[in-house]
Amino acid sequence: MASLPRPLRIQTIRRIPPSIRKYTSHHYLPRDIPIEEETLPYYNPKQYYPVNIGDIYHSRYQIIGKLGYGSTSTSWVCRDLRSTNNNDKELNNEYKVLKISTSIPTKDSHNREYRVYEHLANVVNKGSSHPGQSLIREVYDSFELQNTAVSEGEEEEGGGEGKGSSIHQCLLLQPMTMSLLDMLQLNPRPFDLPLLKMTIKRILLALDFLHAEAGVIHTDLKPDNILLTLHDTSLLPSFAAAESTSPSPRKIVSLTTDPPPQRTIYKSRPFPPPKGNKNYGLPTLCDFSEARIGTVQMNSGPFIQPSIYRAPEVIFEMDWGCAVDVWGVAGVIWSLFEGEHLFGNDIFDPKTGRHHDPFRHVARMVAVIGSPPPGEFVCRSETTAQCFDEGGNWIAHDEAPIPGNISLESLERRLAGTEKEVFLGFMRDMLKWMPEERWTAGELLGHEFLR
């Protein structure tokens, strides 16, 4: 973990004058074809900060190229213009990753990731020596940007300091290479057992630090939030050189019917593969934008966790805690090792193929776990009455039948004998209806499967 982030400060933008920019021919894309963040559900262009390659933020971080995007942020490779004259070991590398959040207007979500990193830094500074702290992506700096280009009368509710502006949280982060999702997309073969065990040990160790020492729940475990460390530092200047000689395709869009303002949307540029015999690095837990401080969360709603990895207590809007991460680990393990989602694509509405269907999801849980939930679980939420009677028997037959042809054993197709038995036991210790009966991250580290 890095040292405590500095207090957030609102910064303005400095544009590079055209005379000192290195211009190469740019490839402009059609405006009517969605790209990048435009393809996401519920995309709102006014929530994204209008980043331009070449901009300098905080009087020191120059944007080099776009690295990625999501529903709540965009990520950019930047150059620290002070690094050559700075002996601080955390800042003496020239390139970092700048994550710029959207101006999501809810009070609870604003600055959440910064607050979590601040909390984790406090835990470390108070003397924690837990080895899991080194398996979490580091943060080096933090500040806020004010976007004054939002049209008057259209600013985000609660998102700005005055008419026609919005505030965007920025975090300067440790550069990483690809995510585990990227790995699976590059090589469709699932993980082998040694790679799986190494990966899961690192994630469980990070979670044990979060849960047992820091009192933090990640809530957003998925292959795209587990990134590989950057061992080949030459990838960063190679990225910058590639952007300079062959600029990323881009498109210019108008945010209002009366221009300006406009915003440029760039295509993300992946890192090139490592050179020579260097590897991609080791798995590290990233993205705390949905994390929660406190091991028991009440009245938080059903919308944490990716739908395919969502724990039953979250679906039924019960109080939840660290055990939701353990359930999420089980789902990630299945995706990495079996090459498919544990509960299959049947948990989505068959008409659209996209919308999560909680009835179908819970019906698959009953089949995969091999038994209905105990009455004690059912009594914890009124919404369980839509699926179960007081004894835990399934009653939502019209909404979704319980599949009769699947079980955890039948879905596992790569192992046999004792090896399969131990692996399924490991999975079952995470896939329990009662959250308090699931093994903790620390307990799972001692499981026979990981020895």
CA distance 259 to 90: 42
Residue tagged active-site, from 220, 232, 325, 357: 220
Which residues neighbour 414 within 8 Å (Cβ) at sequence distance 6 or greater?
A: 190, 337, 338
Q: How many angstroms separate the CA atoms of 30 and 103, rounded?
A: 26
Residue 133 contacts residue 120 (beta carbons within 8 Å):
yes
- Residue showing tokens 């973990």: 1
Asked if 359 and 400 count as a contact pair (C-beta separation under 8 A), the reply is yes
d(CA 292, CA 299): 13
Q: What is the DSSP string of 6-67?
A: PPP-EE-EEPPPGGGS------BPPTTS--GGGGSTT--GGGS----TT-EETTTEEEEEEE
Angle at 327 between CA 175 and CA 408, to 5 degrees: 120
Contact 237, 185 (CB under 8 A): no
Angle of helix 323-338 versus helix 193-208 axis, rounded to 10? 160
Decide if 224 is catalytic.
no
Catalytic center residues: 220
